[in-house]
Structure 1
Amino acid sequence: MIHRPRRSVLYMPGSKSRALDKAATLPADALILDLEDAVTPAEKSAARDLVAERVKARPFGPREVIIRINGADTEWGAADLAAAAAAKPDAILLPKVESPDDIAAARAVAGDIPIWAMMETPLGMLNAAQIAGTTGLTCMVMGTNDLVKDLHACHVAGREPLLAALGLAMLAARANNLAIIDGVYNAFKDDEGLRAECQQGRAMGFDGKTLIHPAQLAVANDVFGPSVEALDEAHAQIAAHEQVAETGGGVAVVNGRIVENLHVENAKRLLAEAEAIAALEAAAR
């Protein structure tokens, strides 16, 4: 399955009209219009109305638009979910998902609108496989800040305290053919650190990275997009494999490595990814 491009998934505060205006011009693959962490309690109701109004107006072009609502256990959650369902974004993001019941309850209101799940608690990690198999869920989003807090862990280079949780969520997502987006990098002026963490996430298999600032977009788009070298190798692998198949014998070899069916499958996925990114960028111009 080829997911739509989600190299860069940018959080935008739902209470800030100017920020939402700017979002329509940014080179983000997807936008999360946030009603939860980025909005103070006093602004919750006004932010809900603003976000619903903007999403209904569809000013964001080809970018995927997701509304993150407050939890069902808060005083704003039910109204957020109803407003989001009426606005019909590309998806609704639920915070702190810990069981399949959380997804089912949201779908009872949201209907056919895809559900995304924030994976950000220890219980959520332990239940990741069951959550990922829930009907209506299409994407998991790592909430690494909350996870670090709940684990009483530390933010360190390489994210060693989080590797078990990241791996569990990744296994659950891929076993159920879901997209999965890596957590945020907090130091938005540290391009070197951001690039290193994006490279780690890409190596682990994440589709992209959630971001907290537009200044992070270029790095995420670069790292999570297929490189020219990777695309050249993909073309070569497919051509070599096809040539061997046509001649009826031998082994396909590219750059000194044997090319098997699994490599061809991955090469085709990479080329399809590049085509989807090109189409998105062309439509956004």
Structure 2
Amino acid sequence: MTKPFRLRRSVLYVPASNAKALAKVASLQADAVIFDLEDAVAPEAKEAARESLRNYFHAQSATRAERIIRINGLDTEWGAEDLLAARACRPDAILLPKVQTPQDVTNVAEVLDDTDASENIRLWAMIETARGILNVDAIAELGLRSTARLDCLVVGTNDIAKETGTRLEKGRAFFVAWLMQVLLCARAGKLDVIDGVFNDFADLAGYADECAQAAAMGFDGKSLVHPTQIEPANVAFLPDEQALSEARAIVAAFAQPENANKGVISLAGKMIERLHLETAQKLVTKMEALGKN
């Protein structure tokens, strides 16, 4: 199954138990929304949150934003019911928390297959534990297997900080190696990868800096905790005009008949390989998805 290209610059968490927040989703410009049944919902509110989510998806059959439901792990008392509720809502994807091994993903994929769930329901995986980081290569490799349904990794920096005792300081110096490890493995598995949240939503300058850092690292987008963070993320994860101009020139050059079978061409004094064409096409596709040709 060919994975369609999706913009995932801004990925907003919305508590499934918060009716006011759910009502605002349709008016937001986030590329994706994660309806959260896990951390954002207290244990005593889990059942009501599932019912709220069922009602929401029944009333809102489609939205501009990609829709993802984060469930509790299947090893918890809420996980099985969450998965059944999420399947019934028919979201674009189901986000699995605290993924530590490939089996955490394949177990859910098998349940979806056994219940004849649509192939359009994909899986996202949270990498937010020490074991998950150590096993991220094997987890990401599932992206090469269509039966695993895996489309995207999401870094859970808060949980990593909690488990390891590592401070999430400005610049995230202690986290860079782990972030790049997750990104590298995601790319090897042909997966998108989303950076963790920035907790202080009132600090827009600090947030902008962290978005710029994540974009420079190569992340596809950032997970968000507040609607005010949407627009800065949407801007940060777009190519600048110079990069876009160069990408269009590369695509146009390789489209010329005389270059159809060439692996390397000369363009503006530089040697351009077909690997550069693939990167250029991705940038152009991203802009076309925004209607900016």
TM-score normalized by the length of structure 1: 0.90
Q: Tell me if the contact between 1:244 and 1:251 (Cα under 8 Å) persists in the aligned partners.
A: no
1:82 to 66, 81, 84: 84
How far apart are the structure 2 equivalents of 1:269 and 1:5? 11
Equivalent of residue 53 in structure 2, options 41, 51, 54: 51
User: Contact 1:158/1:197 (CA < 8 Å) preserved in 2?
Assistant: yes
The separation in 2 between residues aligned to 1:2 and 1:230, in whole angstroms, is 23
Q: Distance in 1 between matches of 2:140 and 2:57?
A: 27
The aligned amino acid for 1:142 is V
Contact 1:2–1:273 (8 Å) recurs in 2: no
Q: 1:253 aligns with which of 263, 267, 279?
A: 267
Once the two structures are TM-superposed, the CA of residue 265 in structure 1 deviates from its matched residue by 2.3
Give the whole-Å Cα distance in 1 for the aligned partners of 2:74 and 2:130: 18
Alignment correspondent of 2:197: 184
Amino acid at match of 1:124: G
Name the aligned partner's letter for residue 23 of structure 2: D
The reply on whether 1:215 has 2:228 as its aligned counterpart is: yes
Query: Does the CA-based 8 Å contact 1:13-1:38 persist in structure 2?
Result: yes
User: Which of the numbers 184, 187, 198 marks the counterpart of 2:211?
Assistant: 198
Q: Could you tell me whether the CA contact under 8 Å between 1:24 and 1:59 is conserved in 2?
A: no
Which amino acid in structure 1 is aligned with residue 171 of structure 2?
G
Partner Cα separation in structure 2 for residue 38 and residue 214 of structure 1: 16
**Structure 2 Cα separation of the partners of residues 30 and 65 of structure 1:** 6
TM-score, reference length from structure 2: 0.88
Match status 1:163 vs 2:171: no
Contact 2:259 2:265 (8 Å CA) reproduced: no
Percent identity (aligned): 47
- Report the CA distance shift for 1:86/1:59 in structure 2 as closer, same or farther (over 3 A): closer
* Alpha carbons 2:29, 2:230 under 8 Å: kept: yes
Cα deviation code 1:146-180 (max 9, x no counterpart): 00111110011221211222122112111111111
Q: Which residue of 1 aligns with 2:116?
A: none
Native 8 Å contact 1:34 1:67 kept in 2: yes
Secondary structure of the 1:65 match is: strand
- Which of 112, 125, 139 aligns to 1:117? It is 125
- Counting matched residue pairs gives 278
Q: Give yes or no for contact 1:118–1:140 (8 Å, CA) kept in 2.
A: yes
| 1:114 alignment partner AA | R
Question: What amino acid maps onto 2:212 in structure 1?
Answer: Q
- CA contact under 8 A between 1:85 and 1:109: conserved in structure 2? no
Name the aligned partner's letter for residue 86 of structure 1.
A
Deviation at 1:59, TM superposition (A): 4.9
CA–CA separation in structure 2 for the residues paired with 1:170 and 1:9: 17
Give the 3 Å change call, closer, same or farther, for CA 44–264 of structure 1 in structure 2: same
Output one character per residue of 1:95-142: Cα deviation in whole Å (capped at 9) or x when no partner: 000011111221232233211100000000011111112322111000
Residues of 1 paired with 2:130 and 2:107: CA distance?
21
Q: Take 1:209 and 1:247, find their aligned partners in 2: how far apart are those partners? A: 37
Q: 1:228 aligns with which of 223, 234, 241?
A: 241
Is the 2:33–2:65 contact (alpha carbons within 8 Å) kept by the matching residues of 1? Answer: yes
Contact 1:3 1:179 in 2 (8 A): no
1:189 and 1:81 map into 2 onto residues whose CA distance is 34
Secondary structure of the 1:153 match is: coil
Cα shift readout 1:260-284 (whole Å, capped 9, x = no counterpart)? 32222211111011111338xxxxx
Q: Which runs of 5+ in 1 are unaligned?
A: 280-285
- Residue 166 of structure 2 corresponds to which residue in structure 1? 153
Name the SS of the counterpart of 2:174 in structure 1: helix
Give unmatched runs, 5+ long, in structure 2: 114-118, 143-147
State which of 92, 100, 103 in structure 1 corresponds to 2:102: 100
Deviations 1:238-271 (A, max 9, x none): 34555694699995233x5433322222111110
